[in-house]
Amino acid sequence: MTFIDFFNNGGPVMWPLLACSIIVLTVIIERAFFWISIEKQRSRSLLNEILAIAEEGNWQLIREKSKGCKDYVIRVLTVGIMHREYDMVKAMEAESQVSIKKMSRYMSILDTMITVAPLLGIFGTVLGIISSFKILGTSGIADPKLVTAGIAQALITTASGLGISLITVFPYNYFNSRIENAVHIMEKYATSLEVVYDKLQGRKDS
Grade residue 147 by pLDDT with cuts at 50, 70 and 90. Answer: low
Per-residue pLDDT reduced to its tens digit, 16-62: 999 999 999 999 999 999 999 999 998 888 888 898 888 888 888 88
Q: Under a CB-based contact definition with an 8 Å cutoff, are residues 16 and 120 in contact?
A: yes
Write the CB contacts of 108 (distance below 8 Å, at least 6 apart in sequence): none
Q: In this predicted model, which residue has the larger pLDDT, 15 or 140? A: 15
* 72 located within any domain: yes
Per-residue pLDDT, 9: 78
Q: In this predicted model, which residue has the larger pLDDT, 62 or 111? A: 111
Per-residue pLDDT, 3: 74
* 119 located within any domain: yes
Per-residue pLDDT, 145: 61
Q: How far apart are CA 193 and CA 84, in angstroms?
A: 10
CB half-sphere exposure, 55, CA atoms < 13 A: 6
- Domain range spanning residue 130? 10-205
Per-residue pLDDT, 135: 66
Domains: count for the chain: 1
Q: Mean pLDDT over all residues of the chain?
A: 87
Mean pLDDT over 166-182 rounds to 96
* 4 located within any domain: no
Q: How far apart are CA 192 and CA 70, in angstroms?
A: 20
Per-residue pLDDT, 44: 85
Per-residue pLDDT, 120: 94
* 192 located within any domain: yes
* 194 located within any domain: yes
* 169 located within any domain: yes
* 96 located within any domain: yes
